[in-house]
Amino acid sequence: MGLDQTWFSVPHNAGPEYDHHYKEIQYHRKVGILQQWFNDNHDAENGGSTLIDTELLDQLEVDMVADRLQIGKTINDKGFFWGTREDSNYDEIADAISKVREHIEFYPEDDVYYSGNW
């Protein structure tokens, strides 16, 4: 119970529902500031998937460095369900950005998605 987040890839144009060849790139558990960013900037919905490109990663990285990742209107900072904001979340998000960039570079035949489920 709570927030589960996954960055994953599928073959190009297969769509995020394609589960025959799903590659998990990074998994997060209760990183509410990341989900809030996707909600605010990309209309992420529960269980929905956002197609990732390098421009989106650039935007996320700029906002992270500028400390603009905040708990907000759809995600609260109450702990159990969403998790709490911790400095280690930034390291975890930075690691995910790096892994996703690497995947996009080395596997251009894949589409990469982010999905948050709660």
Give the pLDDT score at 106: 97
Q: Tell me the mean pLDDT in the region 41-65.
A: 91
Tokens found for residue 52: 């990732």
The residues facing 36 across adjacent strands are: none
Q: How far apart are CA 46 and CA 74, in angstroms?
A: 11
Does residue 49 register a pLDDT over 60? yes
Q: In 22-70, which residue ranges form alpha helices assigned H by DSSP?
A: 32-42, 54-65
Does residue 59 register a pLDDT over 60? yes
pLDDT digits (tens, 9 = 90+) for 71-92: 665 555 555 555 555 666 889 9
Mean pLDDT of the chain: 86
